[in-house]
Amino acid sequence: MGICVSDVDISSVANVIGCGVAKFPLKYLGVPVGCNMAWCVNWESIVSKFSSKLSHWKTRLISVGGRHSLIKSVLNSLPTYFMSIYKVPVLICSKLESMRNKFFIGSEIGEKKMTWVSWNKCLASKISGGLGIGSILALNAGLLFKWIWRFKQKSDVDISSVANVIGCGVAKLPLKYLGVPVGCNMAWCINWESIVSKFSSKLSHWKTRLISVGGRHSLIKSVLNSLPTYFMSIYKVPVSICSKLESMRNKFFIGSEIGEKKMTWVSWNKCLASKISGGLGIGSILALNAGLLFKWIWRFNQKSTDLWVTVIKAIHGPNGGIHVDSMHSPIQGTWNGILSMIKSPKLKSIDLLSLCTRKVGNGASVRFWDDIWCGSQPLKCIFPRIHMLDNDKGCTL
């Protein structure tokens, strides 16, 4: 297994060392690596361990105190290894809590039994009148919070000493790198104020009424359109920021001063439309943002061996979450913003991903059923019945 290294080189090194070649997803020290742990299917090993452990115990032959001790000492320790690294999905939490609850009240698997005390009361601390068992959700949060503590333990003295050796300064998040914000949530409108202020600053230098309509059209196309390009090539622009920027462009085009209300004889959407559609071909900021972000999907498919692509696949799955129908992902970040922007036109029956077709290559990158490689639709849509009968739906060619 290697990053930015060809399969031939990896195989030759593996032969010299005398080991095998691993591929994602895999298990390292019993922990899954390279698969999306937000998917419940990847937690089935924990659920099966719970079920296996419970099947060896005769629940009704163990006292309430014995069951309490077993839950505290054995069942609580089963998922700790996973939970110290990954966030447990809510559905899995509910399933595990249900299994612990049924075991505690002496109920067999599949049996319904009345309980006189709610499970939440049993989970509560002894100070709060509970049994101090503790919920799986709280345990997961506590284990994951240790990573914050470990990160904070790295003293500023150590960082400063390394910075002195290298000869650079010590930066803290959020910061700006090449003019682009890093470490801040770009879904918040406040982090786009620099773009809005640039727009406003540029407009304040121009005497709108002294420029002809053709001049204003040229300035919008050449200058105002290029201002947010650097940001928009990485981040999804919030809808309210899009509306604000479009409003500023509209007012400038019709010759309206800041704060002035002026009647317009042509709608701004008509001006944004292409010349073929009878517009002025200015183009909307939303469409520009979608076009710039869609380039990352193209790069993702074209440069599958690059380091950044490998990182995206490790976090979001082997296909980067591109072909997942859901608009919302439990994993937040820049890549998720790109995917939501690309998938949002599908709600209006505009499937941008369907416009991308693949060429059959080395047998590893093109999915037989899901990718568009033959015709204008995936084969699973053209031959749905055959797709249902196939045992290996994830096969590649």
Read off the pLDDT of residues 223-248 as tens digits, 9 standing for 90 and up: 777 777 777 888 888 888 888 888 88
∠313-318-323 over CA atoms, to 5°? 105
Q: Which residue has the higher pLDDT, 73 or 189?
A: 189
pLDDT, mean of residues 311-322: 79
Q: Do 30 and 46 share a domain, yes or no?
A: no
- Which pLDDT belongs to residue 29? 61
Q: Do 115 and 130 share a domain, yes or no?
A: yes
Q: Report how far residue 311's alpha carbon sits from residue 4's, in angstroms, rounded to the nearest whole number.
A: 11
The model's pLDDT over 22-67, given as tens digits with 9 standing for 90+, comes to: 777 777 666 677 777 888 888 888 888 878 877 777 766 777 777 7
The residue written with tokens 């060619």 in the block is 397
- Which pLDDT belongs to residue 222? 73
Final residue belonging to a domain, choices 255, 283, 311:
283
How many structural domains is the chain composed of? Answer: 5
The model's pLDDT over 175-185, given as tens digits with 9 standing for 90+, comes to: 776 666 777 77
pLDDT at 155 over 70: no
Domain assignment present for residue 4? The answer is yes
DSSP state of 339: H
Domain assignment present for residue 25? The answer is yes
When the pLDDT of each residue in the chain is averaged and rounded to a whole number, the result is 77
Q: How many CA atoms lie within 13 A of 346 on its CB side?
A: 17
Q: Do 254 and 212 share a domain, yes or no?
A: yes
Domain assignment present for residue 308? The answer is no
pLDDT band at 69 (very low <50, low <70, confident <90, very high): confident
DSSP for 72-124 reads: IIIITTTTHHHHTTSPPPHHHHHHHHHHHHHHHTTPPTT-----SS-HHHHHS
* Terminal Cα distance for the chain, rounded: 21
Q: Do 136 and 54 share a domain, yes or no?
A: yes
Domain assignment present for residue 298? The answer is no
Instruction: Give this prediction's pTM.
Output: 0.51
Amino acid at 361: G
- Which pLDDT belongs to residue 203? 75
pLDDT at 99 over 60: yes
Q: Do 231 and 272 share a domain, yes or no?
A: yes
Q: Do 166 and 251 share a domain, yes or no?
A: no
Q: Which residue has the higher pLDDT, 378 or 271?
A: 271
Domain assignment present for residue 310? The answer is no
Q: Which domain holds residue 212?
A: 189-283
Q: Do 221 and 272 share a domain, yes or no?
A: yes
- Which pLDDT belongs to residue 152? 58
pLDDT, mean of residues 372-382: 75
pLDDT at 74 over 80: no
Q: Which residue has the higher pLDDT, 40 or 262?
A: 40
- Which pLDDT belongs to residue 327? 61
Final residue belonging to a domain, choices 145, 169, 197:
145
- Which pLDDT belongs to residue 325? 66
- Which pLDDT belongs to residue 76? 66
Domain assignment present for residue 60? The answer is yes
Instruction: Give me 139's structure tokens.
Output: 């345990």
Top mean-pLDDT range of 104-113, 195-204, 262-271, 291-300: 291-300
- Which pLDDT belongs to residue 35? 77
Domain assignment present for residue 333? The answer is no
Q: Do 51 and 133 share a domain, yes or no?
A: yes
pLDDT, mean of residues 247-276: 80
